[in-house]
């Protein structure tokens, strides 16, 4: 983006909208001067000031299939399929009994948010919310809304929030209740498996249309603390590899790990960038990361995962990150989900090389 064009455009916005003269600002400052003193400049301090009592994490019940069927999202009621009809994978997982009821409800003046349950698998957990919008007009003009939430462990939520972004998901309106919306949100497996206690902090609810209030995005402050038993999420199969190296011609990528889940098959690779021609003498990876991402993405176009004769191309290509301590970089990609357990043969083809994984 050109510096001068953005700068000029933003200066125009400033000049048009912030029109207080210096003299006027001075008058206001003088009038308010008794209330503002000694500003604390430590940005990091704010992260520790979570004014919430940390109570016991909400217990999450792992239910048998029979019990699940009695719940709102269980297989007999078919509610999950009714509200999230396109997501057969999650519906099947619920049918298999991998479902953890939470049913914790928080409200403010406009919204009631029920964190209903957790489901999914250990690489792609899902959180199901029901949101009631108490503003009838706002609900009337929106068939969907978007929920935004932080999902982290307690330490990172309190101390490292700036390093993480919110998870977002759209939810559709209930066909029978005009102000209720159902959301199925992806969650981070890193903070939701292995018996983790997680903080789910719903911070924003957004709408496409808001003709009455003209707000569009509403700030909310709803924190849920949950404990997800490991067995509540469907197992994935993880495999570590060594001795499998893919050669792009510029970089050697070592396959180190794969996780075969219900939603996708994720492969992680590591590589060195120092000393490669692509790095061109650069020692700071992030000054050259464009080149490595381009190399990886171009190379990944040639990858094929073959499972019992069925070929799959890459579903999503990741971006690289580097460990400052050892200079070793990692990247990833996903293929569509495959059934590792039942597969008799799995191979990975990269360019002209084929590697046997099973």
Partner 1 sequence: MTDEKFLCAYEKFRNTVYSVIFSYVRNADDASELSQDTFIKLYTYEGGFDSDDHMKAWLIRVAVNGCNDHFRKRRHVSDSPIPEDLPSGEEHELDEIIAEVMKLPEKYRIPIHLFYYEEYSVSEISDILGISESTVKTRLRRGREKLKKALRKEDWL
Residues lying near partner 1 in the complex (CB under 8 A) are found at: 1-3, 5-18, 20, 22-23, 25-26, 28-30, 32-33, 36-39, 41, 43-44, 46, 108, 162-163, 165, 203, 206, 213-221, 286, 289-290, 321-322, 324
Instruction: Please give the backbone phi and psi of residue 174, each rounded to the nearest 5 degrees, phi first.
Output: -65, 130
Nearer to partner 1, 100 or 329 (CB): 329
> Smallest distance, Å, CB 285 to partner 1?
9
Instruction: Please give the backbone phi and psi of residue 83, each rounded to the nearest 5 degrees, phi first.
Output: -95, -25
Nearer to partner 1, 213 or 339 (CB): 213
> Smallest distance, Å, CB 284 to partner 1?
9
User: For residues 29 and 322, what is the distance between their CA atoms, to the nearest angstrom?
Assistant: 47
> Smallest distance, Å, CB 337 to partner 1?
26
> Smallest distance, Å, CB 48 to partner 1?
12
Nearer to partner 1, 165 or 342 (CB): 165
User: For residues 96 and 62, what is the distance between their CA atoms, to the nearest angstrom?
Assistant: 12
User: For residues 198 and 207, what is the distance between their CA atoms, to the nearest angstrom?
Assistant: 27
90: its two tokens? 């999650």
Check if the beta carbon of residue 206 is closer than 8 Å to that of residue 217. Answer: yes
> Smallest distance, Å, CB 146 to partner 1?
10
Instruction: Please give the backbone phi and psi of residue 271, each rounded to the nearest 5 degrees, phi first.
Output: -160, 160
Q: Find residue 81's DSSP bridge partners.
A: none
> Smallest distance, Å, CB 86 to partner 1?
25
Torsion region of 38: left, alpha or beta (phi above 0 gives left; psi -120 to 50 gives alpha): left
> Smallest distance, Å, CB 142 to partner 1?
13
354: its two tokens? 């084929």
Residue bearing tokens 């570590």: 240
User: For residues 5 and 2, what is the distance between their CA atoms, to the nearest angstrom?
Assistant: 6
> Smallest distance, Å, CB 107 to partner 1?
13
Nearer to partner 1, 64 or 211 (CB): 211
80: its two tokens? 């999950």
Nearer to partner 1, 49 or 240 (CB): 49
Nearer to partner 1, 178 or 323 (CB): 323
Instruction: Please give the backbone phi and psi of residue 115, each rounded to the nearest 5 degrees, phi first.
Output: -80, 100
> Smallest distance, Å, CB 161 to partner 1?
10
6 exposed, middle or buried (CB, 10 Å; 0-12, 13-18, 19+)? exposed
User: For residues 97 and 102, what is the distance between their CA atoms, to the nearest angstrom?
Assistant: 15
Query: Residue 268's closest CA among 282, 258, 260?
Result: 258
> Smallest distance, Å, CB 56 to partner 1?
25
Q: Find residue 192's DSSP bridge partners.
A: none
Nearer to partner 1, 24 or 353 (CB): 24
User: For residues 149 and 127, what is the distance between their CA atoms, to the nearest angstrom?
Assistant: 11
Nearer to partner 1, 16 or 86 (CB): 16
User: For residues 254 and 244, what is the distance between their CA atoms, to the nearest angstrom?
Assistant: 6
Nearer to partner 1, 108 or 235 (CB): 108
User: For residues 338 and 234, what is the distance between their CA atoms, to the nearest angstrom?
Assistant: 14
Nearer to partner 1, 258 or 322 (CB): 322
């Amino acid at each position: 983006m050109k510096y001068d064009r953005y700068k000029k455009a933003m200066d125009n916005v400033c000049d048009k909208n912030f029109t207080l003269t210096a003299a006027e600002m001075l008058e206001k400052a003088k009038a308010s001067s008794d209330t503002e003193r000694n500003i604390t400049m430590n940005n990091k301090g704010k992260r520790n000031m979570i004014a919430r009592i940390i109570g016991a994490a909400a217990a999450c019940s792992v239910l048998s299939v029979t019990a699940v069927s009695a719940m709102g999202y269980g297989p007999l009621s078919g509610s999950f399929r009714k509200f999230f009809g396109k997501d057969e994978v999650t519906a099947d997982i619920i049918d298999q009994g991998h479902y953890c009821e939470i049913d914790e409800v928080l409200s403010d003046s406009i919204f009631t948010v029920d964190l209903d349950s957790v489901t999914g698998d250990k690489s792609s957990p899902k959180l199901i919310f029901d949101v009631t919008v108490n503003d009838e007009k706002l609900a009337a003009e929106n068939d969907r809304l978007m929920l935004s939430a932080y999902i982290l462990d307690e330490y990172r939520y309190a101390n490292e929030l700036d390093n993480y972004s919110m998870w977002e998901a759209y939810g559709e309106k209930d066909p029978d209740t005009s102000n209720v919306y159902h959301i199925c949100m992806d969650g981070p497996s890193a903070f939701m498996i292995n018996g983790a206690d997680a903080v789910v902090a719903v911070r924003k609810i957004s709408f496409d249309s808001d003709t009455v209030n003209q707000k569009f995005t509403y700030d909310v402050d709803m924190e849920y603390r949950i404990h997800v038993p490991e067995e509540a999420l469907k197992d994935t199969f993880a495999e570590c590899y060594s001795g499998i190296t893919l050669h792009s011609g510029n970089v050697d990528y070592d396959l180190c790990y794969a996780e075969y889940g219900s939603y996708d098959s994720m492969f992680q690779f590591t590589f060195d960038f120092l000393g490669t021609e692509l790095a061109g003498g650069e020692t700071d990876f992030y000054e050259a990361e464009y080149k490595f991402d381009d190399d990886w993405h171009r190379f990944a176009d040639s990858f094929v995962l073959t499972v019992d004769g069925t070929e799959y191309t890459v579903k999503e290509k990741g971006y690289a990150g580097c460990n400052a301590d050892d200079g070793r970089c990692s990247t990833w990609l996903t293929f569509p989900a495959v059934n590792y357990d039942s597969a008799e043969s799995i191979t990975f083809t990269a360019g002209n090389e084929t590697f046997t994984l099973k």
